[in-house]
Structure 1
């Protein structure tokens, strides 16, 4: 791709004083998920601090690739540019990303995928200083684990050398990526929108559980349903609300799993509902549960804490790290239905005995992840990265102009 092909949005001269951070991420709003929430919340915080932001992303949702989204729009003040893609949703090929970087003061790549590699190998083409946030790398499932490890130690190691900083959003990520970029890794745990569902869980203890997240294989919802079968046999009041959006599991599959366990009266499925509806659902519950095999950080558990829900979590690396910092969280092996069911019953009893004190611990712990605090850490790192490259903000160029 010739450098002269690069172009940017039209700008006004008044905008020149404010740095432009271009975020590159494979999925963004209106898609819902942890990665999308992190990028959107960070962008909103940057806007309030005088930064300009642009998000470059794929032009369709992976859950519905046939429906093409607008090529550009503004969402909550965020400039969103969408580009064509092909290939796998895990490694979407989207070379037009290079067209939207020419006026960037800094490029922030989210996750380790095509964009991470392509912008690293094409750095001589675009010439922009870059940082990346790992978001768990690509170890979301154990599938192809051996190939992934070889890829990580070779291609990912080489690509990582093009980034001024690698931002690790969990302690497990930091341990992993420090092995290939020890001097450039920084730990910035993800922020959470702790106001979104703030303190909205039921005030009295209820045998009602919420789980939130996209319908993905690694969430192991079938294990959570097995646990619900045990709980429902023990007490008829137990109920589970499954909230999320279709991913590599579709709605008919989940409905079939529920029916096969005869859980129609005990499980409700809420597909792609808005935050107001989620809040209303949480208001009827006391507990949060996740049987997930893998989480990049465990953002949804933080949001559950902010609501006053007591989380019972499968001990993956991210959830174990969270429980070390917040010992009031509970871990249980969801591959053992009886064990996990017992943990949920104990959690319910804790709330019956000392619910207000537990709620205070949960909401206070969640406040540590408020986005205003986390965003400042990102801004400090942006300034550090720009300073280390001796890069100064360049005058913005109008469409068709290049350096």
Structure 2
């Protein structure tokens, strides 16, 4: 079986889809599937190949944008495969490009949260949903939903859908020598600095907790995709948090793992997650999670068992929960940490990759 992952973003970029496509490729290859990656992007100036962790990657130039663009070399690049696995949450440039290529190869889609969860470009999204979405989905033999939320949304437009979820590289994030007990006020957020991640709410909560006598030691690290870092730093300085809240540039795996060794809580006020990859990575590292009480995050985090779900609405109820959480005794904290690690283990890529290989085999058997 020879599978081509086609993606709009990939290594050396850092993010959820990039990590998923790389890990999926590596672990499917370990299961005997021949896998390559096609990275289609307007950032590429010419067709070229490279190798990342043993996976052949072909960079293909895209004329236009990731939403409305055309890759003239796509037709050539997808030759010689048994199945195409397309990672196209927008269901636009990549899906259209493959359709225009004339290829009759069977193909599957990973949803990665879609793009209807934010109000940005709402009118264009409604038109896309009304006139294009069903036709786009009809071109796929199977839609692999990243979450139950995705399955519910995309299931309105196609019956050929299955929840596969995503996985994490548990060993890459495991911290074997973590101290048995840490200070619950030592928090970390890592991920993109974008509007929907609502890092501003974390800062608001740090301000109020300090006033209540519960100052946090908060590390914020990630790629500033929305140019918010200066705004956040101004907020930190004006609130007198410069000695307890630190903004840092994105870290590589080694530096991040070192930083997490003396952190206890991963916190995110994100309004939406397609899957919640970073939450699971934090759990694998032995961190407790404080997150917004929305799906799919509240499917991973159970209050009092492995973390805490909040409304992040600034309510007294939220802060009462936080005070109780921050006052947790050592045995309860250790119990929650063990539950957090055990939960993450169920999403280890060697297990999850088998779901994808099974889906590939099923599609090819009926092609």
> For residue 263 of structure 1, what is the aligned residue in structure 2?
241
1:27 aligns to 2:9 (yes or no): yes
Matches for 1:224-373 after TM superposition, within 5 Å: 224-235=202-213, 237-323=215-301, 328-336=306-314, 339-350=317-328, 352-373=330-351
Superimposed CA distance per residue, residues 165-218 of structure 1 (whole angstroms, 9 cap, x where no aligned partner): 000010111111111112x10011111111122145553131111112111111
Residue in structure 1 matching 2:173, options 192, 197, 210: 197
Distance 1:383 1:304, change over 3 A: same
Question: Contact 1:109–1:115 at 8 Å: present in 2 too?
Answer: no
Question: Contact 2:86–2:107 at 8 Å: present in 1 too?
Answer: yes
> SS at the partner of 2:73?
helix
> SS at the partner of 1:56?
strand
1:37 aligns to 2:19 (yes or no): yes
Paired residues, number? 364
1:56 aligns to 2:12 (yes or no): no
Q: Say which is worse superposed, 85-94 or 223-232, in terms of deviation.
A: 85-94
Matches for 1:172-211 after TM superposition, within 5 Å: 172-182=149-159, 184-199=160-175, 202-206=179-183, 207-211=185-189
Q: Say which is worse superposed, 324-333 or 44-53, in terms of deviation.
A: 324-333
Alpha-carbon distance in structure 2 between the residues aligned to 1:68 and 1:253: 34
Question: Contact 1:202–1:282 at 8 Å: present in 2 too?
Answer: no
Q: Displacement of 1:382 after TM fit?
A: 0.1
Alpha-carbon distance in structure 2 between the residues aligned to 1:174 and 1:325: 25
Question: Contact 1:190–1:369 at 8 Å: present in 2 too?
Answer: yes
> For residue 60 of structure 2, what is the aligned residue in structure 1?
83
Q: Say which is worse superposed, 294-303 or 314-323, in terms of deviation.
A: 314-323
Question: Contact 2:174–2:286 at 8 Å: present in 1 too?
Answer: yes
Alpha-carbon distance in structure 2 between the residues aligned to 1:296 and 1:338: 29
Q: Say which is worse superposed, 95-104 or 347-356, in terms of deviation.
A: 347-356
Question: Contact 1:228–1:341 at 8 Å: present in 2 too?
Answer: no
1:110 aligns to 2:87 (yes or no): yes
Alpha-carbon distance in structure 2 between the residues aligned to 1:290 and 1:126: 42
Q: TM-score, normalised on structure 1? A: 0.83
Runs of at least 5 residues in structure 2 that lack an aligned partner in the other structure: none
Runs of at least 5 residues in structure 1 that lack an aligned partner in the other structure: 1-18, 390-403
Q: TM-score, normalised on structure 2? A: 0.91
**Ranges of 4+ aligned residues in structure 1 off by more than 6 Å:** 67-70
Question: Contact 2:87–2:109 at 8 Å: present in 1 too?
Answer: yes
- Higher relative contact order by CA 8 Å / sep ≥ 6: 1 or 2? 1
Alpha-carbon distance in structure 1 between the residues aligned to 2:17 and 2:173: 18
> SS at the partner of 1:195?
helix
Distance 1:45 1:195, change over 3 A: same
